[in-house]
Amino acid sequence: MEGVDKEKVQKVIYEMSKGSKYFENEQRKEAITKQKVEHLRAQRAKLTDNDISHFQKVAENKILELEASRDLSKIWLHTDMDAFYAAVEILENPSLKGKPLAVGSMSMIATASYEARKFGVRAAMPGFIGCRLCPDLVFVRPNFERYSYYSELTRKVFQRYDPNFVATSLDEAYLNITKVCIDRGITVEEAATELRSAIHQETGLTCSAGVAPNRMIAKVCSDINKPNGQFVLPNDREAVTTFVSTLPIRKIGGIGKVTEQLLHQVLGISTCQEMLQKAAFLCALFSESSADFFLSVGLGLGGTDTPEHTQRKSMSCERTFRATDDCSLLFEKLDNLAENLADDMQKECLKGRTLTLKLKTASFEVRTRATTTQNYINSKEDILIYARKLLKAELPLSLRLMGLRMSHLRDEKDSSAQTQKTLDIFFRSYDNTNDNGANGPSITNTSGGDNYYTNALTEVNYVEHDAGTVDSTDHQSFFLLEENLFVPEGRNSDRCSIDVSSSNPCICDGLGGKELDEDTSSSKGTDTVKFDGHLTIYNATTSSSKPDQHLWIDDYICSLCGFELPPGFEEERQEHSDFHLAEKLQQEEAVDSTGPLSKDRLAERPCSTTPTSKKLKSSKEVKHIPIDAFFDKLNKNL
Ligand code: DCP
Ligand code: CA
Ligand code: CA
């Protein structure tokens, strides 16, 4: 962003977006953040000297425990392709080289070439704003098949360095290069240089790499010498702690705009190391899981073991459309969603017992309504029985998004489930006869956030099924899951010596009775899929049959792009979902030949392949210009 006239960019964006629904919603969110800040400040003011010295001890113990888990024996490399979509397009059409290029549409830009970025044009920005900032901006429509193709080529290279590499999006992956360095007697610098040049050789594209003792830091490092560069942080404690001492917290995956504001405005924290200085307050004001995460960040700790294949815990699909209050249209969309969900569940031989309906109103308010079913279900008809009830209770309402999510899953392939199958048949007949009766499903409502359940619902006793998995009510332990990329392995909430939540009531923020970092079921989706022996975090183009499916894999990785956002950061998650919503529309527009791009702006495509997408069906119904989440990205970059 050097050399960009930030003030001018901000002014143009402000002028062009003010008055929009996005803008109003943004203001509403800001007001909520302000409220949270005020509340936390009040909580902080209430802490007595005794409280503070108590939490100082809690924090010291935690830090000792975390420090003891530090593992410096692994070398992680994070790679990220440079201006990925734009670079692919330039490769395919060299006449675009050197031009300010945007991949996307007038509604939304997916990425911009570095030449265009100099004008302030960037990802998630509506194209019409891009044009205002850079009058010579050239557009290319996205071609996802092409990006998948090049992504596959990079993965073949990754395979040579770490057969268990973890791909987190089309253009990003984590590689444990410890073994390859030892086996071949090469330094980590050599490994990184070699890998980058192999990628260049195989694809003609450049990438950047970061090397560090854990994934969290490796990701930060890959951004340091971008584009076409690398940065290696030595595997020693001092190097890591020095590195984080001045590192702005926002650089850490999982710390979004809201968290950044809370930490800064309530505790004056801007750098990672300041987390340690304010450790007592973090323990006093935040949930144990969040405090653990923050302290890990302060110590520069992050995931070091290769994440294991974990069992899927939820399945969902959602759909965006032009805002409508037409009931028959809404029920029709619900029907489609139920069909999609049923298809997916049946393909994976899964049945579930908790169905959640997610709604986004015309004014961007998100509501969720959940219901528990008597039996495990996965047919469209069964899903619809419950889904229709949930939706009916909300109408009349103007909606722009609907989603269905099934959790409390059971694998039908699992032989231990066979007995239950028999019971299912029993329950099915029970359900059919009691559909409208007093024994119908229990319904739990939440609104204003992306909260899929309340504890009341999750406490309904399915202990038998949940044994061995993390229960929805157990949000305290989420940051401690071994699979978590951010948190050192081997940590477990049982090992925490002091239970902060019971020792002091002030960890609740009191806003709507919710704990500040309260977890919700959107973060329970553990959807990790193993392909070809290595772990692939799946994304829209490579492995999901429903490109509009949005899940949080392993509770922190976005299934669509690999962005990492730990549980508890619900607002950031919401913003992130909004971003995909916008992205999706952009894709839909890309397959709509009647798009608004004028011919002279649209770069010629040398060998165009039209993406085959189910979304073709819906391209007509999507007309509004979504600029959600754009400001989030913008604020981060400015
Ligand atoms: N992408 C998108 N919409 C966004 C962000 C990204 O569609 N809001 C797509 C286009 C990008 C690709 O994902 O090319 C990878 O995203 P990155 O954030 O890694 O950005 P780039 O690779 O484009 O640029 P950089 O060189 O900064 O990594
Ligand atoms: Ca990336
Ligand atoms: Ca990239």
Catalytic residue among 89, 172, 260, 588: 172
Structural contact between residues 452 and 520, judged by C-beta atoms closer than 8 angstroms: yes
> Which residue has the CA at smallest separation from atom 27 of ligand 1?
83
Distance CA 630, CA 13 (A): 10
The SS3 assignment for 381 reads helix
Residue 529 burial by CB count (10 A; 0-12/13-18/19+): exposed, middle or buried? middle
Q: What counts of helices (H) and strands (E) characterise the chain? A: 23, 19
- Of ligand 1's listed atoms, the one at least distance from the Cα of 112 is 23
Give the burial string for 344-373 (b: 16+ CB within 10 Å, else e): bbeebebbbbbbbbbbbbbebebbbbbbbb
**What residue ranges line ligand 1, CB within 6 angstroms?**
80-85, 110-111, 123-124, 171, 226-227, 579, 583
Task: List, for residues 40-89, the tens digit of each pLDDT value.
Answer: 999 999 999 999 999 999 999 999 999 999 999 999 999 999 999 999 99
| 346 pLDDT higher than 80 | yes
Task: List, for residues 137-194, the tens digit of each pLDDT value.
Answer: 999 998 988 999 999 999 999 999 999 999 888 899 999 999 999 999 999 999 999 9
> Which residue has the CA at smallest separation from atom 28 of ligand 1?
82
User: Could you report how far apart the first and last alpha carbons of the chain are, in Å?
Assistant: 7
The SS3 assignment for 382 reads helix
The SS3 assignment for 317 reads strand
Distance CA 209, CA 202 (A): 16
CA of residue 36 to ligand 1 center, whole Å: 31
Residue 448 burial by CB count (10 A; 0-12/13-18/19+): exposed, middle or buried? middle
Residue 425 burial by CB count (10 A; 0-12/13-18/19+): exposed, middle or buried? exposed
Distance CA 187, CA 248 (A): 29
Distance CA 251, CA 141 (A): 30
- By DSSP bridging, strand 366-377 and strand 138-140 are unpaired
State residue 567's pLDDT score: 54
Nearest bound ligand to the CA of residue 634 = 1
Task: List, for residues 542-590, the tens digit of each pLDDT value.
Answer: 222 333 456 776 556 677 776 655 555 555 566 667 666 655 655 555 5
Nearest bound ligand to the CA of residue 585 = 1
89, 90, 101, 111, best to mutate for ligand 1 pocket (most atoms within 8 Å of CB): 111
Structural contact between residues 392 and 308, judged by C-beta atoms closer than 8 angstroms: no
The SS3 assignment for 106 reads coil
Nearest bound ligand to the CA of residue 111 = 1
| 130 pLDDT higher than 90 | yes
CA of residue 82 to ligand 1 center, whole Å: 8
CA of residue 171 to ligand 3 center, whole Å: 6
State residue 376's pLDDT score: 92
State residue 563's pLDDT score: 64
60 flagged as catalytic: no
79, 84, 114, best to mutate for ligand 1 pocket (most atoms within 8 Å of CB): 84
State residue 23's pLDDT score: 76
| 415 pLDDT higher than 60 | no
